[in-house]
């Protein structure tokens, strides 16, 4: 791969790099990173509802000068990873849905 990039003039510079390989404290084995799937929350629909609530007067931003900042932030929001809470949120959601009983007539 490097040879191809060099042949096409895509390599800017090449320099040695020392990689610190993490090792287990107990046995000294190499610890390899575990790649995990990440999940994202689509923030667009949530942001639209929040913007509409302020625009319709259901929610008031105090002090009013921060309403412009609030709107700018929500108009430019992107999908987010729920950091450090992904697994507990899944379990909590499952527990909540499992315990909800349908209303009886």
What is residue 38's predicted lDDT score, i.e. its pLDDT? 67
For the stretch 24-32, contacts whose Cβ atoms lie closer than 8 Å and that sit 24 or more positions apart, written own/partner, are none
Alpha carbons 101 and 90: distance in angstroms, whole number: 19
Find, among 74, 16, 11, 22, the residue nearest to 46 by Cα. Answer: 74
CA 7 from centre of chain: 38
Looking at the DSSP assignment, which residues form a beta bridge with residue 80? 41
pLDDT per residue, tens digit, the chain (105 aa), is: 889 989 999 999 889 888 888 888 888 888 877 766 667 778 888 899 999 999 999 999 999 999 999 999 999 988 777 665 445 444 444 444 454 444 444
| CA distances from residue 19 to 14, 16, 24, 29, 35 in whole angstroms, order as listed | 15, 10, 16, 16, 18
Query: What's the pTM value of the predicted model, to 2 decimals?
Result: 0.45
Instruction: Report the pLDDT value the prediction gives residue 93, as an integer from 0 to 100.
Output: 47
């Amino acid at each position: 791969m490097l040879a191809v990039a060099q042949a096409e003039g895509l390599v800017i510079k090449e320099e040695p790099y020392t990689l610190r390989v993490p090792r287990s404290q107990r046995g000294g084995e190499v610890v390899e990173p575990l790649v995990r799937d990440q999940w994202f929350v689509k923030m667009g629909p949530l942001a639209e509802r929040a913007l509409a609530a302020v625009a319709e007067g259901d929610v008031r931003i105090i002090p009013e000068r921060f309403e412009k900042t609030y709107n700018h932030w929500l108009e430019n929001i992107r999908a987010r990873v729920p950091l450090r809470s992904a697994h507990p949120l899944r379990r909590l959601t499952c527990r909540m849905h499992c315990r909800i009983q349908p209303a009886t007539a």
